Amino acid sequence: MTERENIITEGSITKALIIIAIPIIISNILQSVLEVVDMYFIGHLGQDAIAGGTMSISIIMVLMTVLFGIVTATAAFISRAYGSQRYERIQVILAHSLYLALIISAIIAVIGMFWSEGLLLLLGADPGALAEGVKFLQPMLMGLFVMVILMTLVTAFQSSGDSRTPMFAMIAVNIVNILLNPTLIQGLAGFPAFGIAGSAYASIISRGAGIFLLLGVIYLHPAFKNSPVRLPKKWTFEPDLIKQIVFIAIPSAIQSGVRSFGFLMMTAIVTTFYGTAAVAAYGISIRLDMLGLIIVMGFCTAIAVMVGQNLGAGRVDRAELSVKYAVVINAIFMACVAVFYYFNAEMLLAFFGAEGEALVDGILFMHIIPFSYFIIAAAMTLGFAMNGAGMTRPGMYSAIAGQICTQVALSAMFAYLGYPIQYIWYAIVCGSIVMCICDYYFYRKGDWKRKKLDLGGEDA
């Protein structure tokens, strides 16, 4: 095995986490810079564009739930195969995952082509937000297959312990996207001004470039001649493997679906009861949340790889200790982010285009939600750890309990009773607490440590 493989299953846990996490964090930072650029230019198109974009993103997240489930299952299977040194199965797993993902992407493309406007109307979009939202939502859904292929390839590399190669690819992707965003949104360098649609076009084009870059590395770079991350030369259909991937993917897809549906319901509640300014504040604040989770997401992805490979190598004790390290790192970091957001809320929100009532509502959000960040970080780390083991049902249960039964239910009640917007923000905090309690219960129960995955092949 190479040094990278030894580091994941042997030696310093902290070093292994950092080696895997740092390239992912760098990619996430660039992605966040892209989000900043995106928010900046879309924000200056007006509140209709902000609201339409926010609603569109919530719809995209709901429709992508099955795809997220497939990616989670792919990560669990590939990391387990790599940890158990069954490298030949990685190619087969990747091929089957891509075929499943492309079938779902085709269905979503049809939905985007014919029903984008109807989906936005279901969220209560007013005429202005509807007009802007359709311009963004339709091309994003029709071009989603490009993003899914790239996502699956990146996951395959990361699950094999190589997070550097996709980092370089994602650096290129984000640079292209950042350059194309203002160019296509505002119409620079002789291009027409597409408005909010330009953001969608930039996303699709840049991801397409990323796919070609990764495929070029896999098949043309001499150092990757013997890399297990590639499509098999002789593709064979294995129904049992498809069933195994789907079996792991379904609870993860439901989990993602519940979270996305919860976000969609929250957007609908805020839009219906509090207006366009409030939903604009909600959209900007949620994006700031995601910016704060950059490093957490890096270590969460790293812990999923650590758990999967160490379980594959029979190192259950090392997998468990790795989770403890990651929880501490993530919780401390998010506590620091919370303090920063609390004292700089107005400046950050104003920079991204919030003004008037939207600014006021956003400040309330940033003075309440961040104090639950360390709880969110702990819950995410535990959830990713169990997903890395292929144990995806606990995350599904915690999402239902926290996101729907607590957050959405409380928000609907507060909105119906006429409570001010800050009570909606308190409901989000309550939902995070419930999710963390559920994740901790299932983690302590320990079934994830005994989870078996059937990788198929001759050793099945």
For 241-257, write each residue's pLDDT tens digit. 999 999 999 999 999 88
pLDDT mean across residues, the chain: 90
Nearest to 367 by CA among 344, 395, 390: 344
Question: Residue 124: what are its φ and ψ, rounded to 5°?
Answer: 85, 25
Q: Which tops the pLDDT comparison, 356 or 447? A: 447
Note the Cα 157 to chain centre separation in Å. Answer: 17
Q: How many percent of the chain have pLDDT more than 70?
A: 98
1: pLDDT strictly greater than 50 = no
**Model-level pTM?**
0.86
What is the tens place of the pLDDT at every residue in 41-76?
888 888 889 888 888 987 888 888 889 999 999 999
5: pLDDT strictly greater than 60 = no
Structural contact between residues 41 and 199, judged by C-beta atoms closer than 8 angstroms: yes
Mean pLDDT of 80-87: 92
pLDDT for 4:
42
Q: Which tops the pLDDT comparison, 233 or 384? A: 384
- In three-state secondary structure terms, 191 is coil
Least confident of 6-20, 110-124, 203-217, 437-451: 6-20
Q: Which two tokens stand for residue 90?
A: 């990685």
403: pLDDT strictly greater than 80 = yes
Q: How far apart are CA 419 and CA 427, in angstroms?
A: 12
